[in-house]
Amino acid sequence: LAKTTQPISMDSYEGQEVNITCSHNNIATNDYITWYQQFPSQGPRFIIQGYKTKVTNEVASLFIPADRKSSTLSLPRVSLSDTAVYYCLLTGANNLFFGTGTRLTVIP
Amino acid sequence: NAGVTQTPKFQVLKTGQSMTLQCAQDMNHNSMYWYRQDPGMGLRLIYYSASEGTTDKGEVPNGYNVSRLNKREFSLRLESAAPSQTSVYFCASSGPGPRLYEQYFGPGTRLTVT
């Protein structure tokens, strides 16, 4: 299982932009990079997915350099409700290793 | 659509007892998954089923069995529960769509083995 490495935790003040970086040196050609968000006592939910360059949706942006060995999830202007655990996964052919994720705490 | 449903929501077992966790999805997804999440940890894949009639081991299959009863249902069985199996169990499904392998998760079953 191809694994990813993320910071264990991050703190941010409300209204700031938060960038969470994920390292995935052994990414395979067929792998996509997918991020999930998990609130306490709930299952994870999909945030964003990308293969290369930049992807943006209504909640986040995902930046992927040309070598694809890392990726950065960017959350603009976080609020208290963004406090959660964020997981970076490589998804392809049932490659499903969630890892421990990054616990983001947003401070008022 | 209910999405992914799991029963029961909570369960307490004594060591050595058996039980089956039920999962069902109404999204016509081909793939289904069982994960466990220990306190403060990430999710670990127990078993998955890429399609009806097939099942494969994940990262932590020991002590568990699964059945893909039909396209909708995927059950997880603990034959002889142990305290080390105290955890929250999540079922998920994924299927054809714009986002490759996007998984939809159920609400979880909180299991305590004493």
Collect all residues of chain A within an 8 Å Cβ-Cβ radius of residue B90: 43-44
**What is the pLDDT averaged over residues B42-64?**
92
Q: What is the pLDDT of residues B10-24, one digit of tens each?
A: 999 999 999 999 999
Percent of chain B with pLDDT over 90: 78
What does the DSSP assignment read for A60-107?
Answer: -EEEE-TT-SEEEEEESS--GGG-EEEEEEEESTT-----S-EEEEEE
Q: Which residues pair with A72 in a beta bridge?
A: A21, A63
Instruction: Name, in order, each residue with C-beta under 8 angstroms of B38's C-beta and a sequence gap of 6 or more.
Output: B44, B86, B87, B88
Q: Which amino acid is at B50?
A: A
Cβ pair A32, A51 in contact under 8 A:
yes
Across the interface, which of A34, A49, A99 has its CB nearest the CB of B42?
A99
* C-beta atoms of B45 and A99 within 8 A: no
Over residues B106-114, mean pLDDT: 96
At B69 the pLDDT is 87
The SS3 of residue B23 is strand
Asked if A16 and A1 count as a contact pair (C-beta separation under 8 A), the reply is no
Residue B27 CB: number of other CB atoms within 10 A? 15
Mutate to test the interface with B, among A5, A94, A100, A102 (most CBs of B within 10 A): A94
Closest CA to B49 of B29, B20, B78: B29
CB of A51 closer than 8 Å to CB of A92: no
- For B82-98, what is the mean pLDDT? 91
Which of B31, B100, B104 should be substituted to probe chain A, the one whose Cβ sees the most A Cβ atoms within 10 Å?
Answer: B100
Tell me which of A73-82, A90-99, B60-69 is least confident. Answer: A90-99
Confirm if B6 and A62 have CB atoms less than 8 A apart.
Answer: no
Share the mean pLDDT of chain A: 91
Mean pLDDT of A1-21: 91
Q: For chain B, what is the mean pLDDT?
A: 93
Checking if the pLDDT of B96 tops 80, the result is no
The CA-CA-CA angle for residues B62, B67, B73, to 5°, reads 130
